[in-house]
Structure 1
Amino acid sequence: MAKFEVIGTASIPGKGSELRLLQRNDEFSIRIAGSPGELMNTRLHGSEDALAELACERIANRAGIRVLIGGLGMGFTLAAALRSLPESAEVVVAELVPGVVDWNRGPLGAAAGYPLNDPRTVVSLGDVGELLRREPGGFDAIMIDVDNGPEGLTRKENDWLYSPQGLAAAQEALRPEGVLAIWSAGQDPAFTERLRRVGLLVEEVTVRAHRPGKGAKHRIWLAC
């Protein structure tokens, strides 16, 4: 069997570490340098698709739709959002690591169908938390997938997004009856309660990493 080979590296701002893009035939993997596990794989994106589908189905009939995706990753959430929304929508994707955007414009992009090339896509380089604070009432839906879940793994600063202050900022950035959708690799009852304490109505959905009905069980919180 062919082995994964490193075809790209990208520094993580503020952490002093780097992401690595690996390829094996037509399969890609993103990992943190020095960590044995992987963050993402092009063969396992069912839950990333579901993050967008579950959020967008709740707002797809609105006029002038504008949504925000926190974390480009391998582009699957972005691609699913574009499939779910009308041609008049705008999809802003915030990505902290410029190299990840370059990978999606290059060798990695084919896996998700090059969603960055869609004219509805707007790329915002930088911290999604700063974007939330800049745009009160700016989005019909906000989808967050910047880490392994409510506890920062790739970057400690990500913890703020899942804090009461970060959740309040996300609330402020939503339009009336907007939807906040958050991805996690696993359960976190304390985070569910945190969402409720800031005044959000919460639904927790179990989704599979690999379709149909296979792979690890991931979680998506839908809050409004």
Structure 2
Amino acid sequence: MIPWQLIDSSPIPGGGGELQLFQRNTEFTINIVGGGVLMSTHAHASEDALAERTCREIAGRDRPRVLIGGLGMGFTLAAALRRLGPEAEVVVAELVPAVVRWNSEILGEFAGHPLQDSRTRVREGDVGKVMKEERQGFDAILLDVDNGPSGLTRKKNNWLYGLDGLTVAYTALRPQGLLAVWSAGPDRDFHERLRKVGFTVRQTQARAHGDKGERHIIWLAARGA
């Protein structure tokens, strides 16, 4: 079997560990040291579903604005752009500058170079900071940070999925906006926290690779009018 080759690595700002970019043949993965594989170019169907299921509900709005927390390998961004019209704006908040660089260079072709789309805006930094700065600024917020609320590999991400972080997300959404959250697995407590903040919540599943692979969870949480 052909071994994995380490292509590049980068520290996570704020002392959150280290990300590593690996390649084997035509497949790439982004791993976190001590926490395993976070994402792969060969298994991204649930990331696609996160954007598709959300953006189809807001695509008809006037000049929709979407915030994506976590660039990953660009698949969520690409799926959002496919669903949205020419007047949309998609802001991507990515904490690790190297991830933006990897997408601009070696990974871009896999998702169709979504960073080159004129509707894309990249903010290098914490998605929580962007949400705090934009009161009622977005029609949808898509969170694909770490492994979701039930599978964190970085403790600092816990705030984002707690009551304080969810309240900030609620405030950053426009009336009838949608918060969509990707998770590696179910989490009943998180479902209840969404409801406690005031969201109307739907929980769905999506396979990691087409109709195969692990079942991931997507929450669709709607803010009221």
TM class, shorter-length:
over 0.9
- Residue matched to 2:215: 217
Q: 1:39 — aligned with what?
A: 38
Structure 2 partner of 1:9: 9
Q: Does 1:163 align with 2:155?
A: no
List gaps (5 residues or longer) in structure 2. Answer: none
The RMSD of aligned alpha carbons is 1.1
In 1, distance between residues paired with 2:175 and 2:16? Answer: 39
For 1:64, give the aligned amino acid.
R
Structure 1 gaps of 5+ residues are none
CA positional deviation for 1:157: 1.3
Deviation at 1:151, TM superposition (A): 4.3
Would you say the 8 A contact 1:151–1:159 is kept in 2?
no
| Superposed displacement of residue 155, structure 1 | 2.2
**TM-score, structure 2 as length reference:** 0.96
Are 2:151 and 2:184, in contact at CA under 8 Å, matched by a contact in 1?
A: no
Q: Secondary structure at the match of 1:146?
A: coil
- Equivalent runs, 1:47-126 vs 2, <5 Å: 47-126=46-125
Identity %: 60
Q: Is the 8 A contact 1:15 1:155 kept in 2?
A: no
TM-score, L = length of structure 1: 0.96
The count of residues paired between Structure 1 and Structure 2 equals 222
Corresponding letter in the other structure for 2:75: F
Contact 1:204 1:219 in 2 (8 A): yes
What SS class does the counterpart of residue 124 from structure 1 fall into? strand
SS of the residue corresponding to residue 145 of structure 2 reads coil
Partner of 1:24: 24
Q: Could you tell me how far apart the structure 2 residues matched to 1:177 and 1:141 are?
A: 9
Query: Does the CA-based 8 Å contact 1:9-1:21 persist in structure 2?
Result: yes
CA distance in 1: counterparts of 2:32 and 2:49, whole angstroms: 24
Q: CA–CA distance in 2 between the matches of 1:193 and 1:97?
A: 30
Deviation at 1:112, TM superposition (A): 0.7
- List 4+ stretches of structure 1 deviating above 2 A: 151-155
